[in-house]
């Protein structure tokens, strides 16, 4: 199984975007995307159709605010999508869009300094065209780099996140199919462990005695969980439990899994996204915020994993936190617009 044509298309697409301007970006997109291209972006961009609409919604404002944009990829792989019976081919890219923040963006005042916008992108390629895209970026982390603390202090660490410890995440050459199958099987087994220990059903008894026992089935003890702005990153199984898993499982109730739209793997890397993956009820305390007292909210999530031997070692997570909070009545962008920078904690 080869993905060379699909990978080449996405790399050419990125190369062309690296030279695009606000005036040319719509034409650049149009060269390689389908006429009815379905683009999904985080809040406030949401779902768009076609090159012109995506350009107007995301790329023209972004390129108008950010100078000398440079895509710095840390992970790049392709594969067939398990969700549709391994029929469609997707190409995944993750890293940062580095730039000089020179003009206001989404109400955030410019710094005239380097900023690193975390991103993860899934592209479905068919017939030499990009048919579908999911583009997740970490706007909360961008705010933090601009000196805006939009949320109370969190349990994890907020920092510009590196790529894989092994520095082998750019799979420009195809990997043996058996490697991707092993990675995907491990990811699925890990997701099964989460389901087996879910406390979403009243009176349900977890399968494993402790969270550490659950994690030990599929994770190395020195695991790294590279979480999004609003939650933060954690290192080692014990700190992951303390700084992410326990708040997530105890401060979010009535968890409903909605499924994934794409799930794939190649070599030691794999991942998925959903739209939304989860629906939950914030009962109070999560991300330092009170319960909404009204209704549930959706989480759109990307997870990208690195397998090391028989277990998972690293996990990069993107959550559309602004959408999750907006569904609870908190407009973070509106609240932060025009605010003066505060001492950064990144």
* pLDDT single digits (tens) 213-233: 999 999 999 999 999 999 999
DSSP code per residue over 16-55 = HHTT--TTTHHHHHHTTEEEEEEEEETTTTEEEEHHHHHI
Unique residue bearing structure tokens 């998925």: 272
- State the average pLDDT over residues 154-173: 94
- Tell me how far apart the alpha carbons of residues 53 and 26 are, in angstroms, rounded to a whole number: 8
- Tell me how far apart the alpha carbons of residues 70 and 250 are, in angstroms, rounded to a whole number: 40
The answer for residues whose C-beta is within 8 angstroms of residue 8's C-beta and 6 or more apart is none
- Tell me how far apart the alpha carbons of residues 272 and 277 are, in angstroms, rounded to a whole number: 10
* pLDDT single digits (tens) 190-214: 999 999 987 545 556 788 889 999 9
* CATH topology identical between 4-145 and 177-336: yes
Q: Is 70 exceeded by the pLDDT of residue 237?
A: yes
Q: Is cis: bond before 44, omega within 30 of 0?
A: yes
Residue 130 confidence class, pLDDT cut points 50, 70, 90: very high
Query: What pTM, to 2 d.p., does this model score?
Result: 0.94
Give domain limits for the chain.
4-145, 177-336
CATH number, domain 177-336: 3.10.450.50
Token reading at 105: 């963006």
* pLDDT single digits (tens) 270-296: 999 999 999 999 998 888 888 866 679
* HSE-CB for 162 with a 13 A CA cutoff: 7
Contact 93, 121 (CB under 8 A): yes
- Minimal CA–CA distance to 58: which of 123, 137, 120, 125? 137
Residue 342 confidence class, pLDDT cut points 50, 70, 90: low
What pLDDT, on a 0 to 100 scale, did the predictor assign at position 214? 95
Length of the chain measured in residues: 346
Q: What is the bridge-based pairing of β-strands 301-308 and 311-319?
A: antiparallel
pLDDT more than 90, % of the chain: 84
- State the average pLDDT over residues 44-62: 98
Pick the CATH number of 4-145 from 3.10.450.50, 3.40.50.920, 3.40.50.300, 3.40.50.720: 3.10.450.50
14-28, 147-161, 234-248: least confidently modelled range: 147-161
Question: Is residue 147 packed enough to be buried (19+ CB in 10 Å), middle (13-18) or exposed (0-12)?
Answer: middle
- Tell me how far apart the alpha carbons of residues 23 and 27 are, in angstroms, rounded to a whole number: 9
- State the average pLDDT over residues 159-176: 97
Residue 238 confidence class, pLDDT cut points 50, 70, 90: very high
Token reading at 310: 């028989």
């Amino acid at each position: 199984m080869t993905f060379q044509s699909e990978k080449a298309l996405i790399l050419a697409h990125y190369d062309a975007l690296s030279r695009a301007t606000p005036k040319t970006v719509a034409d650049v997109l149009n060269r390689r995307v389908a006429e009815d291209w379905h683009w999904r972006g985080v809040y406030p961009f949401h779902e768009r159709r076609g090159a012109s609409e995506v350009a107007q919604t995301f790329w023209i404002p972004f390129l108008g605010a950010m100078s000398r944009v440079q895509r710095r990829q840390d992970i790049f792989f392709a594969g067939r999508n398990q969700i549709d019976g391994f029929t469609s081919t997707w190409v995944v890219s993750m890293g940062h869009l580095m730039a000089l923040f020179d003009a206001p963006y989404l109400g955030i005042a410019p710094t005239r300094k380097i900023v690193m916008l975390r991103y993860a992108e899934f592209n479905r390629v068919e017939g030499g065209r990009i048919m579908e895209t999911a583009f997740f970026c970490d706007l909360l982390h961008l705010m933090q780099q601009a000196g805006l603390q939009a949320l109370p202090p969190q349990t994890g660490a907020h920092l510009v996140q590196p790529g894989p410890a092994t520095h082998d995440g750019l799979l420009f050459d195809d990997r043996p199919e058996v490697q991707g199958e092993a990675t995907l099987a491990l990811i699925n087994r890990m997701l099964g462990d989460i389901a087996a220990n879910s406390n979403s059903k009243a009176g349900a008894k977890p399968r494993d005695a402790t969270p550490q026992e659950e994690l030990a089935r599929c994770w190395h003890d020195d695991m790294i969980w590279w979480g999004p702005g609003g939650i933060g990153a954690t290192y080692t199984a014990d700190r992951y439990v303390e700084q992410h898993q326990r708040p997530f499982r105890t401060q979010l109730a009535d968890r409903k899994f909605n499924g994934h739209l794409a799930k794939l793997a190649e070599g030691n890397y794999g991942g998925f996204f959903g739209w939304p993956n989860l629906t939950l009820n914030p009962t109070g305390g999560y991300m330092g915020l009170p319960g909404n007292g009204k209704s549930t909210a959706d989480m759109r999530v990307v997870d990208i994993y690195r397998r090391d031997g028989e277990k998972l070692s690293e996990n990069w997570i993107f959550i559309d936190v602004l959408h999750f909070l907006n569904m609870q009545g908190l407009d973070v962008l509106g609240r932060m617009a025009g605010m003066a920078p505060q001492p950064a904690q990144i």
